[in-house]
């Protein structure tokens, strides 16, 4: 069944009838990143307005691979379980050269996590769930068919010109967050440079609907016999939809390649029959670019407007949700006056670090998949030739390194006796807790988690962890007790085997960049 | 310096002859492909990341001997 694109309700904006009081936060773009950020801020008690030029979810499946970290973030925002229930869970990826399997990976070899390694789910479902949650929130003013056509920074605030079907109006806001995608109109209106690398190789994306029993795995082929000399990628999605991604070469004609008479025979060679329906087709090239800074005074960028990568590591939508996690609690603290605006500098630093890691991985995969003539091609082919026969070369075959959250380089208290998985800067690993999960117990605030010991008396919310096998492996290692300070985005801020209340409170104050 | 730069192969002449023999009868492209596989195999055997970087640096900066002399414009 093709997806039913329903229209979201359009309502006449107040600003059309009378000037609106200054907003504290306006988000431009109701895609997955803008909506997730709105829900994160609303969950922290902040009022937020979201402007979107359209009134439907994204057309075509677009971002489909949602990482464990993204699912944990979506879960905190109230839609994670829905995404997992609807999506196709997978953790194994297989890479083939010609018709031989040369490499496979298991992204979640251990148990004891609420969320799976990856779920494939069309972007339109994720947007639908987020939009429903946002529409239900009394703190979110979601305005469809409100196109931003002017943005000017006026000292300490931003003036936004908005176009609606019923006329134009103006909004003033203390903060504007641009979640308006890779072609970001806000970025263009501010004249910001989007530097990086453009890859000229063309790829065909086709979503097809068919009855099939392909396993829930990611499959990638280098030079398969069904698509000679190029690469191919297959992903399973819900509703019997399969994503097929075919490399076409740099000299392909995008318009011609989109036509069903070209696409259908190509797909037929992949799946071996014609018993399928084309759901969505797109031809793309990709880029690896980022803004130099993600915070420009009162204008903040998150998601594709701030950074874009090739699609092969699932690092687009997932890195955008990581931006949301790193920004939400900080922006909320600035909006409520708890922290000075310079706290947003920490968002910029951390996510620039994350973007660089994504760009590095993405460019390396792109180079391997689309080698330039000469030495690049020579070594790529050498790796593939060796990988069919010899173990060491198998992991060198780079079909995309799948999105994992980066470990932020924090200067924070740490103890070498504690295990690396939960070091400061890493996302606090999930573990079973009673009948539930640690992630749920941590919630959206700062938590002092005590493992195998009593937490010292501080002003912080304390959590006495249930010590079980998974939790001990992830949080104790060789130690018998530990204290963990965990941030509102569930990143480990600091940890000790032993600490005084004062040491813990000092580390907590540092999170908000409050001098103590 | 972890990269060995002093003579280290017993029977140097024998190894050199074996290297040439491996390329015997190959086309230019086949020879290049063989060299690429050989580099990857040897690099994996070495394993030591620092030594590999030193080897890459050394290879890049050597080899000037035998090139045409630089013209004054290049200098």
Averaged pLDDT, A375-404:
95
pLDDT for B68: 61
Q: What is the helix (H) or strand (E) element at residue B35, kind and residue range?
A: helix B28-46
Classify residue A399 by burial, with Cβ atoms within 10 Å: 0-12, 13-18, 19+: buried
Alpha-helical regions (H) of A44-164:
68-76, 80-86, 123-136
Averaged pLDDT, A67-72:
98
Q: Which of A439, A461, A436, A434 is nearest to A450 (CA)?
A: A461
Cβ-based contacts under 8 A for chains A and B: 25
What per-residue string of b and e applies to A96-111 under the rule 16 or more CB within 10 Å gives b?
bbeeeebbebebeeee
Convert the pLDDT of each residue in A290-349 to its tens digit.
Answer: 999 999 999 999 999 999 998 889 999 999 999 999 999 999 999 999 999 999 999 999
Examine the pLDDT at B73 and tell me if it is beyond 90: no
Q: Rounded distance, CA B72 to CA B75, Å?
A: 5
Cβ–Cβ of B40/A385 closer than 8 Å?
no
pLDDT for A99: 87
Task: Write the ipTM.
Answer: 0.89
Mutate to test the interface with B, among A392, A394, A396, A398 (most CBs of B within 10 A): A392
Q: What is the helix (H) or strand (E) element at residue A328, kind and residue range?
A: helix A317-335
pLDDT for B66: 61
Crossing angle between the packed helical segments B12-23 and B28-46, to the nearest 10 degrees: 130
Cβ–Cβ of B41/A386 closer than 8 Å?
yes
Q: What are phi and psi of A299, to 5 degrees?
A: -110, 125
Cβ neighbours of B39 in A, within 8 Å: 379, 382
Mutate to test the interface with A, among B28, B30, B38, B40 (most CBs of A within 10 A): B40
Cβ–Cβ of B33/A392 closer than 8 Å?
no
Q: Which residues pair with A169 in a beta bridge?
A: A162
Q: Is B65 helix (H, G, I), strand (E, B) or coil?
A: coil
pLDDT for B74: 47
Mutate to test the interface with A, among B28, B36, B41, B56 (most CBs of A within 10 A): B36
CA distances from A18 to A21, A23, A37, A419 (A): 9, 14, 28, 58
Strands A23-28 and A48-51: parallel
Cβ neighbours of A378 in B, within 8 Å: 32-33, 36
Q: Rounded distance, CA A248 to CA B33, Å?
A: 25
Whether B56 contacts chain A with CB within 8 A: no
Q: Rounded distance, CA A262 to CA A280, Å?
A: 14
Averaged pLDDT, A179-198:
95
Whether B44 contacts chain A with CB within 8 A: yes
Examine the pLDDT at A508 and tell me if it is beyond 60: yes
Q: Which residues pair with A447 in a beta bridge?
A: A461, A486
pLDDT for B67: 66
Q: Rounded distance, CA A227 to CA A270, Å?
A: 8
Averaged pLDDT, A234-245:
96
Examine the pLDDT at A516 and tell me if it is beyond 60: no
Q: Which residues contact A454 (CB under 8 A, 6 or more apart)?
A: A464
Averaged pLDDT, A44-70:
96
- Closest chain A residue to B37 measured between Cα atoms? A382
pLDDT for B71: 58
Q: What is the helix (H) or strand (E) element at residue A319, kind and residue range?
A: helix A317-335
CA distances from A399 to A113, A220, A232 (A): 26, 7, 10
Examine the pLDDT at B37 and tell me if it is beyond 80: yes
pLDDT for A400: 94
Cβ neighbours of A392 in B, within 8 Å: 41, 44
The secondary structure of residue A372, as a DSSP letter, is P
Q: Which residues contact A397 (CB under 8 A, 6 or more apart)?
A: A95, A97, A102, A103, A222, A368, A383, A384, A387
Q: What percent of chain A has pLDDT over 70?
A: 100
On whether the CB atoms of residues A290 and A211 are closer than 8 A, the answer is no
Model confidence at A54, in pLDDT bands (50, 70, 90)?
very high
Average pLDDT along chain B: 90
What pTM was estimated for this model as a whole?
0.95
Model confidence at A214, in pLDDT bands (50, 70, 90)?
confident
The secondary structure of residue A68, as a DSSP letter, is H
Task: Please spell the DSSP secondary structure of A138-186, one letter per residue.
Answer: TTEEEETT-EEEEEEEETTEEEEEEEETTEEEEEEEEEEEE---TT-HH
Chain A residues with CB under 8 Å of a chain B CB are 378-379, 381-383, 385-386, 390, 392-393, 396
Examine the pLDDT at A388 and tell me if it is beyond 60: yes
- Closest chain A residue to B31 measured between Cα atoms? A378
- Closest chain A residue to B34 measured between Cα atoms? A382
Convert the pLDDT of each residue in A189-210 to its tens digit.
Answer: 999 999 998 888 999 999 999 9
Q: Rounded distance, CA A423 to CA A444, Å?
A: 19
Q: Which residues contact A265 (CB under 8 A, 6 or more apart)?
A: none
Averaged pLDDT, A160-170:
98
Examine the pLDDT at A515 and tell me if it is beyond 80: no
Examine the pLDDT at A268 and tell me if it is beyond 90: yes
Distance from CA of A417 to the nearest CA of B (A): 27
Mutate to test the interface with B, among A374, A377, A378 (most CBs of B within 10 A): A378
- Number of CB atoms found within 10 A of residue A440's CB: 13
Q: What HEC string does A432-467 produce?
A: EECCEEHHHHHCCCCEEEEECCCCCCCCCEEEECCC
- Closest chain B residue to A376 measured between Cα atoms? B36
Structure tokens at A284: 């793309």
pLDDT for A332: 98
Q: What percent of chain A has pLDDT over 90?
A: 95
Cβ neighbours of B37 in A, within 8 Å: 382, 385-386
Average pLDDT along chain A: 96
Q: Rounded distance, CA A287 to CA A182, Å?
A: 10
Q: Rounded distance, CA A227 to CA A231, Å?
A: 7
Model confidence at A514, in pLDDT bands (50, 70, 90)?
confident
């Amino acid at each position: 069944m093709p997806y039913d694109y329903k229209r979201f309700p359009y309502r006449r904006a107040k600003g059309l009838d009378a000037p609106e009081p200054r907003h504290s936060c306006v988000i431009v773009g109701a895609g997955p990143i803008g909506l997730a950020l709105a829900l994160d801020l609303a969950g922290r008690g902040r009022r937020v307005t979201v402007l979107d030029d359209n009134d439907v979810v994204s057309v075509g499946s677009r971002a489909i691979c949602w990482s464990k970290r993204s699912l944990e973030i979506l879960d905190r925002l109230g839609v994670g379980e829905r995404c997992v229930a609807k999506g196709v869970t997978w953790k194994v990826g297989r890479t083939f050269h010609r018709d031989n399997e040369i490499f496979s990976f298991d992204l979640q070899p251990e148990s004891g996590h609420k969320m799976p390694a990856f779920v494939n789910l069309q972007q339109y479902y994720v947007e639908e769930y987020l939009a429903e949650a946002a529409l239900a929130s009394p703190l979110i003013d979601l305005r469809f068919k409100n196109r931003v056509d002017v943005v000017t920074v006026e000292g300490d605030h931003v003036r936004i010109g908005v176009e609606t079907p019923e006329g134009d109006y103006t909004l003033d806001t203390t903060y504007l967050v641009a979640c308006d995608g890779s072609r970001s109109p806000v970025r263009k209106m501010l004249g910001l440079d989007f530097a990086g690398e453009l890859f000229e190789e063309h790829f065909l994306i086709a979503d097809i609907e068919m009855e099939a029993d392909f396993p829930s795995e990611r499959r990638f082929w280098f030079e398969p016999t069904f698509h000679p000399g190029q690469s191919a990628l297959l992903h399973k999605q819900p509703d019997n939809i399969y994503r097929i991604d075919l490399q076409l070469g740099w000299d392909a004609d995008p318009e011609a390649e989109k036509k069903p008479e070209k696409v259908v025979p190509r797909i037929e060679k992949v799946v071996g029959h014609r018993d399928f329906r084309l759901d969505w087709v797109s031809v793309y090239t990709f880029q690896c670019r980022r803004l130099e800074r993600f915070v420009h005074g009162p204008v903040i960028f998150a998601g594709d407007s701030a950074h874009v990568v090739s699609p092969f590591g699932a690092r687009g939508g997932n890195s955008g949700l990581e931006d949301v996690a790193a920004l939400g609690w900080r922006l909320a603290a600035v909006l409520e006056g708890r922290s000075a605006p310079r706290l947003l500098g920490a968002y910029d630093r951390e996510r620039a670090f994350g973007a660089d890691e994504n760009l590095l991985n993405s460019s390396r995969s792109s180079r391997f998949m689309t080698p330039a003539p000469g030495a690049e091609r020579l070594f790529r082919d050498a790796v593939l030739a060796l990988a069919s026969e010899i173990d060491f070369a198998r992991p060198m075959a780079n079909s995309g390194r799948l999105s994992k959250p980066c470990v932020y380089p924090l200067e924070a208290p740490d103890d070498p006796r504690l295990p690396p998985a939960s070091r400061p800067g890493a996302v606090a690993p999930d573990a079973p807790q009673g009948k539930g999960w640690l992630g749920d117990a941590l919630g959206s605030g700062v938590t002092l988690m005590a493992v195998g010991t009593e937490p010292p008396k501080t002003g912080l919310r304390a959590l006495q962890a249930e010590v079980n096998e998974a939790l001990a492996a992830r949080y104790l290692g060789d130690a018998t007790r530990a204290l963990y300070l965990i941030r509102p985005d569930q990143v480990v801020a600091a940890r000790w085997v032993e600490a005084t209340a004062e040491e813990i409170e000092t580390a907590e104050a540092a999170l908000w960049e409050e001098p103590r | 310096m972890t990269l060995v730069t002093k003579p280290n192969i017993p029977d140097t002449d024998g190894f050199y002859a074996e290297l040439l023999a491996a390329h015997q009868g190959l086309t230019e492209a086949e020879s290049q492909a063989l060299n690429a596989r050989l580099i990857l195999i040897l690099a994996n055997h070495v394993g030591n990341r620092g030594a590999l970087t030193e080897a890459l640096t050394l290879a890049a900066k050597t080899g000037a001997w035998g090139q045409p002399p630089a013209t004054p414009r290049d200098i």
